[in-house]
């Protein structure tokens, strides 16, 4: 049933190509961002989970 539905759509073969092009452009942009991002920003973002936990622990300890 589904095979007949998809066959009846005109230009259906272009959609996988469009999907691949969108994915490839996104992937290239992501790679470009990774290699051009400032390393200090990466270190700051990497430390955020630990900083948030220590700040939360300090505020809950101070409230007790």
pLDDT tens-digit series, residues 13-48:
898 999 999 999 999 999 999 999 999 998 888 888
d(CA 29, CA 36): 10
The confidence score (pLDDT) of residue 29 equals 98
Domain residues for 50? 2-63
The confidence score (pLDDT) of residue 30 equals 96
d(CA 37, CA 52): 23
Residue at token pair 């009846």: 8
The confidence score (pLDDT) of residue 13 equals 85
The confidence score (pLDDT) of residue 3 equals 74
Better-predicted residue by pLDDT, 32 or 5: 32
> Per the structure block, which two tokens stand in for 64?
């007790």
Residues 19-36: b if buried by 16+ CB within 10 A, e if exposed: eeeeeeeeeeeeeeeeee
Better-predicted residue by pLDDT, 57 or 32: 32
Our count of domains for the chain comes to 1
> Per the structure block, which two tokens stand in for 28?
């290239």
């Amino acid at each position: 049933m589904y095979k007949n539905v998809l066959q009846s759509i005109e230009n259906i073969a272009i959609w996988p190509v469009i999907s691949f092009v969108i994915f490839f452009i996104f992937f290239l942009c992501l790679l470009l961002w990774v290699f051009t991002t400032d390393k200090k920003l990466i270190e700051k973002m990497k430390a955020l989970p630990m900083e948030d936990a220590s700040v939360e622990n300090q505020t809950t300890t101070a409230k007790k």
